[in-house]
């Protein structure tokens, strides 16, 4: 338990960004990977070249020493006398390994490391009388300078390889990142309902790689989902259409029943079924994306006030903060407005406040707020909300409101209201639905203005 508590404490001290996970792009991942690989290859090649050059130069130095000692041996055997500088007979500092090889009757060379780090080049040869002739010299300064210059060139080359690899990684990763971002943007457009968008066409390019395979898979999935949703929509619309006639007949027959509690229950249920059928048909029409708005110029604040007053807006307060003229479909706007008011009246307590400010209409209630899944995902059919906000209905009111808003080119948002300074887990003190009407007529939705003849 103590370990768990300490772990939780350390996680609490970490920044929230690190707790969620670091976000890095493909471009920088590829760049870092290429830079690391380039650095490893450059270091490995530098070590190989350095060692190969050192061994080659030492071999050359040993060959030179071997030639020198052979020349001096012949002169010493022929004439005797003094030896050149660096040559000695029976040198006591002769390395043991070299001494043993020379005593065995073999001419040999040897390399030893001095305290200064500069190699010493030895050569020894046995003389006829049992003595050993040897020569000893340091690795030449010129050779040392050549090795230093080579090491410097290898370091510069390794740095150039790392930076060149990083630049190449940025270019390659940037191209892949752009393709992936285009694919993600196209996929988001498909998710928003634009069925004509194709991810493969969005990323473009001549070279075919795994990104194209991903795009084709996403397009195939989108097509399959579209076909499935279209099939479900047709089935739902057909069922609702087939139910409309018998439900209408049932409602008409209920009107002929004698007055009383049983007939009231039958009429109430028949009317509820008829409302459900009409709502299902409307949702099916909105899903088909075939709905078009009939645009008119209206004064928004006056329109909202008159419609609410005509419906008997008891318990509803209307506040026109700023009047504005808008071009929209009055019938669809009224549908959105009264669906929002019906939802507030069903799940909250009065007063319900409606405010109009420019092109924005807000509907606020004082209930327990919208459920979290609705705030995250938006309205969903046949989902009536959490238990604290449940009531009669089938969850189609807000779905229809959102669909009609799309036809108008408007934006419908939902949020909960909490007291200022209240902690995050505090229950909501109300819900607000905000309708943002577009500044220009929504011609991109296929809507058209109504031309009134004189």
CATH number where 378 lies: 3.30.565.10
Instruction: With a cut of 60, say whether residue 359 has pLDDT above it.
Output: yes
Token pair, residue 107, equals 């001419």
For position 450, what pLDDT does the model report? 53
What is the per-residue pLDDT across 218-249, written as a single tens digit (0 to 9) for each?
A: 888 878 877 777 777 677 666 766 676 777 77
CA atoms of 282 and 184, how far apart (whole Å): 32
pLDDT recorded at residue 155: 86
- How far apart CA 433 and CA 341 sit, in angstroms, is 10
Any domain includes 280: no
CA–CA dist 51, 58 (Å, integer) = 10
Residue 295 in tokens: 């645009």
Q: Is 254 inside any structural domain?
A: no
Domains in the chain: how many in total? 2
- 380 occurs within a structural domain: yes
pLDDT (0 to 100) of residue 174: 76
Domain extent for 319: 294-436
Show the tokens assigned to 131.
């003595």
CA pair distance 28, 8, nearest whole angstrom: 31
For residue range 153-174, list pLDDT tens digits in order. 888 888 888 888 788 777 877 7
Residue 18's pLDDT band, with cuts at 50, 70 and 90, is very low
Question: With the C-alpha atoms ordered 123, 125, 131, 133, is the resulting torsion angle positive or negative?
Answer: negative
Q: Could you tell me the two tokens for 294?
A: 């009939």
For the segment 378-402, what is each residue's pLDDT rounded down to a tens digit? 776 666 554 444 445 556 788 888 8
Q: Which of 135, 160, 185 is the last residue of a domain?
A: 160
In a domain, 341, yes or no: yes
Q: Is residue 362 part of a domain?
A: yes
Residues sharing a CB contact under 8 Å with residue 187, sequence separation 6 or more, in sequence order: 199, 218, 222
What is the per-residue pLDDT for 434? Answer: 92
User: Does residue 403 fall inside a structural domain?
Assistant: yes
Query: Which carries the bigger pLDDT value, residue 422 or residue 181?
Result: 181
Beta sheet of 352-357, edge-to-edge order: 316-322, 352-357, 360-364, 431-436, 411-416
Scored b (16 or more CB within 10 A) or e, 75-88 reads: ebeeeeeeeeeebe
Place 182 in a pLDDT band, splitting at 50, 70 and 90.
confident
Residue 2: pLDDT band with limits 50, 70, 90: very low
Domain boundary among 160, 176, 194: 160
Q: Is residue 451 part of a domain?
A: no
Whether 250 is in a domain gets the answer no
The predicted model gives 310-327 an average pLDDT of 85
Domain end among 136, 160, 184: 160
Which pLDDT value is given to residue 435? 92
């Amino acid at each position: 338990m103590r370990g768990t508590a300490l772990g939780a404490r350390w996680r609490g001290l970490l920044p929230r960004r690190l707790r969620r996970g670091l976000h890095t792009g493909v471009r920088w991942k590829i760049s870092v990977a290429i830079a690391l690989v380039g650095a490893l290859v450059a270091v490995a090649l530098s070590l190989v070249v350095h060692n190969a050059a050192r061994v080659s130069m030492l071999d050359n130095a040993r060959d030179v020493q071997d030639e020198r000692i052979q020349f001096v041996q012949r002169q010493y055997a022929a004439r005797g006398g003094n030896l050149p500088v660096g040559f000695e007979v029976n040198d006591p500092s002769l390395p043991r390994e070299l001494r043993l090889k020379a005593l065995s009757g073999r001419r040999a060379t040897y390399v030893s490391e001095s305290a200064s780090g500069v190699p010493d080049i030895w050569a020894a040869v046995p003389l006829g009388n049992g003595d050993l002739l040897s020569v000893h010299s340091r690795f030449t300064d010129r050779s040392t300078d050549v090795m230093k210059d080579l090491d410097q060139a290898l370091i510069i080359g390794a740095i150039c390889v790392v930076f060149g690899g990083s630049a190449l990684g940025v270019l390659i990763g940037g191209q892949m990142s752009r393709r992936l971002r285009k694919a993600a943007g196209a996929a988001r457009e498909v998710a928003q309902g634009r069925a004509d968008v194709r991810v493969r066409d969005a990323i473009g390019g001549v070279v075919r790689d795994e990104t194209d395979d991903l795009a084709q898979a996403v397009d195939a999935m989108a097509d399959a989902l579209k076909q499935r949703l279209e099939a479900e929509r047709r089935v739902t619309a057909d069922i609702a259409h087939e139910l409309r006639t018998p439900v209408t007949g049932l409602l008409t027959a209920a009107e002929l029943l004698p007055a009383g509690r049983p007939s009231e229950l039958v009429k109430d249920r028949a009317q509820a079924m008829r409302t459900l059928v009409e709502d299902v048909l409307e949702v099916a029409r909105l899903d088909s994306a075939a709905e078009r708005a009939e645009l008119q110029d209206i004064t928004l604040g006056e329109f909202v006030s008159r419609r609410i007053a005509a419906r008997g807006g008891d318990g509803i307060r209307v506040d026109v903060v700023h009047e504005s003229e808008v071009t929209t479909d009055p019938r669809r706007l009224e549908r959105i407005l009264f669906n929002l008011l019906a939802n507030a009246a069903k799940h909250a307590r009065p007063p319900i406040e409606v405010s109009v400010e420019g092109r924005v209409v807000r509907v606020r209630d004082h209930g327990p707020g919208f459920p979290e899944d609705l705030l995250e995902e938006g309205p969903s059919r046949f989902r009536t909300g959490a238990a604290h906000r449940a009531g009669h209905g089938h969850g189609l009111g807000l779905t229809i409101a959102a669909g009609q808003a799309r036809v108008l080119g408007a934006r419908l948002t939902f949020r909960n209201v909490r007291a200022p300074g209240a902690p995050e887990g505090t229950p909501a003190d109300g819900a607000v639905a905000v309708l943002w009407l577009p500044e220009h007529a929504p011609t991109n939705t296929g809507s058209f203005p109504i031309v009134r003849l004189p």
